[in-house]
Amino acid sequence: MPEMPEVETVRRTLSDKVLGRIVRHMDILLPRLIKWPSVHEFQENVTGKSICQLRRRGKYLLFDLSDGMVMVVHLRMTGRLHYNPVGAVRHPHTRIVFKLDTGDELLYIDTRTLGTLHVMPESELNRIHGLTTMGPEPLSADFTLDYLRGILDGRQGNIKALLLNQQYVGGLGNIYVDECLALAGIHPERRAGAITMDEIEKLHTAINQVIDEGIRHGGTTLRDYRDGEGASGNHQHHLAVYGRASKPCRNCGTAIVKSIVAGRGTHFCPRCQT
DNA sequence: CTTCACGCCTGTCAGC
DNA sequence: TGCTGACAGGCGTGAA
């Protein structure tokens, strides 16, 4: 569900509200979401600490706690973090409640319960494989045109699978990959290594532009996604291809095609993307 | 090494 | 109305 723009929006909408707050108590309603260390240790390591900083890396959210511990949350498909003012009713799919010193709550909500939570010292974050191996993010200084050229060079797989792989580019997911390829005019099944220099430039620009717009629109709400205050995003109104199967391409009017690429539902314009 | 199918979960929707 | 199967924004694992 949430990709980089959504997770970044959650971070922004939550930061002001939780920074400096102390976690007084936790209700872990669904213990199996805690992946490290044990549920008991997790509770001990978080309770009584204040939240000093809220960071994001790719699709991970990192809560820096007052004693150097870091709580790492990944929302996977349907995870949400909501700031819940004192007395407000809890979402029915609330799985973990962080009770703050103000009486307000931070809720971890997750319909499909695929999300993950870890807590560990900063120095041990390498326990989380997906964090350790993550490639540079769009809009970051490391995500250069040369870098993109380098990871495409000689690659036999299709471009869609490559862009979905967090080891190459961190933060892209199924929606934004389709949107990036549409903007760059590249067919999702093109062999990555066969993409021309000219197209790689377009793709590099497209990735940065799509992610930037996604963030500026507060993310894409198709069904489940909400920001830290429970509000929907707006980027769903600006999508070029995702979710628009059989609707006319905004550029040429040809019907958008939906197929399966890299095992995922994939949308593209058969005329504009070659 | 890469690529693919699958499992993890619940909810929704199309088709019958 | 009710049932079944496909599918959904992610990612780790194991097999090929």
Catalytic residue selected from A149, A155, A190, A264:
A264
- Which nucleotides of strand B are protein-proximal, with an atom < 7 A from a CB? 2-6, 8-11
A170 Cβ within 7 A of any nucleic strand C atom: no
Q: Which long-range contacts (CB under 8 A, 24 or more apart) does A249-256 make?
A: none
Catalytic residue selected from A17, A49, A59, A160:
A59
Question: pLDDT (tens digit, 9 = 90+) per residue, A214-236?
Answer: 999 999 999 899 999 999 999 99
Question: pLDDT (tens digit, 9 = 90+) per residue, A53-68?
Answer: 999 999 999 999 999 9
Instruction: pLDDT band for A40, please (50, 70, 90 cuts).
Output: very high
Question: pLDDT (tens digit, 9 = 90+) per residue, A111-156?
Answer: 999 999 999 999 999 999 999 999 999 999 999 999 999 999 988 8
A93 Cβ within 7 A of any nucleic strand B atom: yes
CB count, 10 Å around CB of A184? 22
In contact, A168 and A134? CB cutoff 8 Å? no
CA atoms of A48 and A10, how far apart (whole Å): 23
Question: pLDDT (tens digit, 9 = 90+) per residue, A9-34?
Answer: 999 999 999 999 999 999 999 999 99
Q: What is the mean pLDDT of residues A177-191?
A: 95
Nucleotide nearest to A78 (CA to C1'): C9
A228 Cβ within 7 A of any nucleic strand C atom: no
Q: What is the mean pLDDT of chain A?
A: 95
Instruction: pLDDT band for A1, please (50, 70, 90 cuts).
Output: low
CA atoms of A181 and A174, how far apart (whole Å): 11
Q: Quick one: what percent of chain A has pLDDT higher than 70? A: 100
Nucleotide nearest to A76 (CA to C1'): C10
Q: Specify the pLDDT at position A64.
A: 97
A99 Cβ within 7 A of any nucleic strand B atom: no
Instruction: pLDDT band for A98, please (50, 70, 90 cuts).
Output: very high
Question: Between the CA of A27 and the C1' of B10, what is the distance in angstroms?
Answer: 21
Q: Specify the pLDDT at position A70.
A: 96
A156 Cβ within 7 A of any nucleic strand B atom: yes
CA atoms of A60 and A2, how far apart (whole Å): 10
The reported pTM is 0.96
Q: Is A246 left (phi over 0), alpha (psi -120 to 50) or beta?
A: left
In contact, A82 and A103? CB cutoff 8 Å? no
Closest protein residue to C11 (Cα–C1'): A76
Question: Between the CA of A171 and the C1' of C11, what is the distance in angstroms?
Answer: 13
Q: Which two tokens mark A11?
A: 């971070």
- Helical ranges in chain A per DSSP H: 4-18, 39-46, 129-132, 145-152, 159-164, 174-184, 197-216
A2 an active-site residue? yes
